[in-house]
Amino acid sequence: MKKLILVASVALLLAASAFAQTNQADLDKVLNLLDKKSETFKQVQTNFEWDQYQKVVDEHEIQKGVMYFKRTGANVDVAAVFTEPVAKKLVFKNGEVQIYTFKTGEIERHDAGKNRKSFESFLALGFGGRGSDLQKNFEIRYAGTETINGKPTYKLELTPKTKEVKSMFPLITLWINQQTGMSEQQKLDQGEGDYRKALYTNIVVNPPTLPPTAFDLKAK
């Protein structure tokens, strides 16, 4: 009986080791894809739908619009034009987040300061970032494949390495398009059942041009 238990234990250990090696190989493949696509990334235009869910009131807040991403040197500029439910615009540029509400004319400003790279990594998460940079900021688990928007994706589960980020988002899940290396979907868990899910459609990678006012704060 002891020999059978020992043999079974060794078999389980070998199986677990083989599974871990397979997962690591799959993860390396995805990170290499992100590195490769990052080399040619210039800009992206995509429609988005954000679903902010609050479990305590069982309520979904849906926001829709268009987003633009543009690499400027070593940085990525981000703009989001919200069309629903309130017309507003978010621009992240030169280390500052600005939000303009068209109806009221109010502007919110948030200086990223020393946290610029953290702001950038979240706003541009899954759009042009290198896999090696992702590893610097997150513990990454390969979670298999899924079809999103009718397209095959790699599913990655990210656990932030810093306490500050982890307190806001204990877990972030990305669904990465197997061909383009861009996010088809994201989910940011906020703890206690709350989350923000983002679905991206009509993703155009490296279009010849973006709208000339894409990163102008007050322009739609």
Of 178, 216, 48, 218, the C-alpha closest to 123 is: 48
> With bands split at pLDDT 50, 70 and 90, how would you rate the model's confidence at 162?
confident
pLDDT in tens, 113-126: 666 666 666 667 88
Residue 217 forms part of a structural domain = no
Give me the pLDDT at residue 75, please: 78
CA–CA distance, 160 with 20 (Å, rounded to integer): 21
160 or 45: which leads in pLDDT: 45
Residue 124 forms part of a structural domain = yes
Give me the pLDDT at residue 124, please: 72
Strands (E), 73-129: 75-84, 88-93, 96-101, 107-111
Residue 220 forms part of a structural domain = no
Average pLDDT over residues 175-180: 96
84 lies in which domain range?
Answer: 2-205
Average pLDDT over residues 3-14: 39
CATH classification at residue 96: 2.50.20.10
Residue 216 forms part of a structural domain = no
Residue 98 forms part of a structural domain = yes
Give whole-number Cα distances, 19 to 23, 24, 66, 127, 178, in Å: 6, 9, 40, 29, 21
Give me the pLDDT at residue 73, please: 76
Indicate the number of domains in the chain: 1
CA–CA distance, 36 with 50 (Å, rounded to integer): 28
Give me the pLDDT at residue 144, please: 95
Of 126, 196, 118, 220, the C-alpha closest to 163 is: 118
Give me the pLDDT at residue 20, please: 40
Does 159 score more than 60 pLDDT?
yes
In order, the DSSP letters of 148-161 are ETTEEEEEEEEEES
Residue 196 forms part of a structural domain = yes
Give me the pLDDT at residue 121, please: 61
Give me the pLDDT at residue 5, please: 46
Average pLDDT over residues 193-220: 94
Residue 211 forms part of a structural domain = no
Residue 218 forms part of a structural domain = no
Q: What is the value of pTM for the model shown?
A: 0.84
